Amino acid sequence: MKKRSILLITNIILFMCIASAQNSIILRTSEAKDTISKNIYGHFAEHLGRCVYDGLYVGDNKKIPNKNGIRTDIVEALKKLKVGVLRWPGGCFADGYHWMDGIGPKAQRKHTENVAWGNVRENNAFGTHEFLELCDMIKAEPYLALNMGSGTVQESSDWVKYVNHANSSSYLTDMRAKNGRSKPWNVKYWGVGNESWDCGGNMTASQYVSEYRKYATHITNYGNSENLFRIAVGPGSEDYNWTETVMRDIPSKLIEGLSVHHYSVINWSAKGSATLFPEQEYFRTMEQAWRMERFITKNSEIMDKYDPKKKVALIVDEWGGWYEVEPGTNKNFLYQQNTMRDAMIAGLSLNIFHNHADRVRMANLAQIVNVLQAVILTKEEKLILTPTYHVMEMYNVHQDAVMIPVTVTSEDYVMGDKKLQAVSASASKDKNGITHVSLVNIHSTKEQTITINLGNSGAKSVTGRILSSSNIQDHNTFDKPNTVVPASFNKATLNGNELKISLPPFSVVVLELK
């Protein structure tokens, strides 16, 4: 009798352990109200390494198809990605950039030095007109960063007038017409400074607020409002005092957005290889990627104190993985490969942004081509799409759809005395009534079986796509460009309002429910 009791208790404990470890997701469909902005699928292009020159822009290179110097195969790839917004010209480069150096006949443009990134020669062939033409080609909203670091209020005000004011308003619009553009571009998004706590001036929060108030006032034309969306600099670390100061001391009439920066870096002094990393480094990278959840939550809580109606957007205008540069490349050019680890960062981060759609209304991956966690890498006339590209292409079905809140119960990914939530998820319903569910399993070795309660979605069928590979270090190369590509996914079973799915290790899946 005693043995039977012990066995019964043991079985109960075992059952409870198994039950508690099961993965489950509940779609709270009745609570869906916030729209996932397409601008969460934004990107960042800085004059850094080979992002602009030899990346987006090839000038008069006859071997590479281009339109006015802008590389057309990149344009086609970015159109498929449905880029929401593109931020330019920086980054730290913006705080040394004077926009008038980049307009007019290219042969007459001033050559300058890029002191932010390697002291290389900047010929300013890619300037305001070229950037805005690129945005038009890929159908992305432009986001211009003003030079608060070494520029002036007048310079910034003049740039807004040059870009946005009606023809014949002033000598600035006459100059724009002379340079080939008679009608205004009507650029909405303007960043007032960049990383002002570091390369943008090493300011205190109160110093920045004082400068911001001047810039935000003078770039606005009160007589003919352009409806500017002015984005203030927020913190790049968990310095919540900075957020508090900005939200408290900038009048609500002068601010529409607050930017934050977060990179998934394991150690700033020893970032590790982009491709030759052990599981311990992978785990630490995922730990930093998951930190985005806390970072957004804490900043949102402070913003809610001063802006309970959520009029000010939280803008994550730099995010992604950051490793040591590829061997044999310039350390100042930040060129790195892109593996399945980066796909995990992308899927996890986008899920977080979706689930905070009430406050997060723009995010810009750093950076778009040939720099950091790029979606595209180029080598002369060759081009490859990275795992990150494929995640963002798979996920863009969520753009402008209504976010469905989710409750996730997940097994842990454990290493030593640390553990991380293995499964991440987000969901939305588009204007056609189609529900999409995005899932990430960051666990490096274990498949996750997940039960999804679909609520009252009324789904009758399920299809899916998956991004996975044999090794977490797998990546696409110029010799093997299709090592990591999306494939059809058929490990999902629908039974009434319940869906069961098996998610392989380090994989990303997007399901479509009709």
**Residue 8: inside a domain, yes or no?**
no
Do 211 and 198 fall within a single domain? yes
Single residue among 353, 380, 400 that ends a domain in this structure:
400
**Residue 69: inside a domain, yes or no?**
yes
pLDDT of residue 179: 97
Do 310 and 396 fall within a single domain? yes
| C-alpha–C-alpha distance, residues 509 and 441, integer Å | 9
Do 370 and 310 fall within a single domain? yes
Render each residue's pLDDT in the chain as its tens digit; 514 residues: 444 444 444 444 434 443 444 899 999 999 999 999 999 999 999 999 999 999 999 999 889 999 999 999 999 999 999 999 999 999 999 999 999 999 999 999 999 999 999 999 999 999 999 999 999 999 999 999 999 999 999 999 999 999 999 877 789 999 999 999 999 999 999 999 999 999 999 999 999 999 999 999 999 865 555 689 999 999 999 999 999 999 999 999 999 999 999 999 999 999 999 999 999 999 999 999 999 999 999 999 999 999 999 999 999 999 999 999 999 999 999 999 999 999 999 999 999 999 999 999 999 999 999 999 999 999 999 999 999 999 999 999 999 999 999 999 999 999 999 999 999 999 999 999 999 999 999 999 999 999 999 988 788 999 999 999 999 999 999 999 999 999 999 999 999 999 999 999 999 999 999 9
- Choose, from 130, 256, 318, 411, the residue flagged as catalytic: 318
**Residue 13: inside a domain, yes or no?**
no
**Residue 18: inside a domain, yes or no?**
no
Q: Write phi, then psi, for 282 (nearest 5 degrees).
A: -60, -45
Give the residue from 29, 26, 41, 84 showing the smallest Cα distance to 433.
29
Do 476 and 343 fall within a single domain? no
Give the residue from 237, 360, 373 showing the smallest Cα distance to 303.
360
Do 433 and 392 fall within a single domain? no
Give the residue from 374, 412, 414, 417 showing the smallest Cα distance to 392.
374
498 is catalytic: no
Do 484 and 394 fall within a single domain? no
**Residue 11: inside a domain, yes or no?**
no
Do 121 and 261 fall within a single domain? yes
Do 362 and 425 fall within a single domain? no
Single residue among 347, 365, 400 that ends a domain in this structure:
400
Alpha helices in 330-466 (DSSP H): 340-355, 387-395
| C-alpha–C-alpha distance, residues 358 and 37, integer Å | 10
Do 197 and 98 fall within a single domain? yes
The CATH number of whichever domain residue 238 belongs to comes to 3.20.20.80
Q: How many domains does the chain have?
A: 2
pLDDT of residue 498: 93
Question: How would you class 63 by CB atoms within 10 Å of its CB: exposed for 0-12, middle for 13-18, buried for 19 or more?
Answer: exposed
Indicate the SS3 state at residue 449.
strand
- Choose, from 122, 130, 141, 195, the residue flagged as catalytic: 195
Question: How would you class 48 by CB atoms within 10 Å of its CB: exposed for 0-12, middle for 13-18, buried for 19 or more?
Answer: buried
pLDDT of residue 281: 97
| Residue 130 CA to its chain's centroid (Å) | 23
Contacts of 89 (CB under 8 A, 6+ apart): 45, 46, 47, 97, 131, 144, 145
**Residue 12: inside a domain, yes or no?**
no
Give the residue from 205, 249, 212, 209 showing the smallest Cα distance to 230.
212
Contact 392, 18 (CB under 8 A): no
**Residue 16: inside a domain, yes or no?**
no
195 is catalytic: yes
pLDDT of residue 355: 98
Do 235 and 370 fall within a single domain? yes
The CATH number of whichever domain residue 463 belongs to comes to 2.60.40.1180
- Per the document, the length of the chain is 514
Angle at which helices 205-218 and 240-249 pack, to 10 degrees?
A: 40
Distances (CA, A) of 432 to 85, 400, 405: 24, 12, 19
Do 380 and 479 fall within a single domain? no
Q: Three-class SS string for 364-379? A: EEECCECCCCCCEEEE
| C-alpha–C-alpha distance, residues 105 and 95, integer Å | 24
Scored b (16 or more CB within 10 A) or e, 123-151 reads: ebbbbbbbbbbbbebbebbbbbbbbbbeb
pLDDT of residue 333: 97
**Residue 2: inside a domain, yes or no?**
no
pLDDT of residue 220: 83
Q: Which domain holds residue 223?
A: 38-400
Single residue among 352, 379, 400 that ends a domain in this structure:
400
Do 243 and 170 fall within a single domain? yes
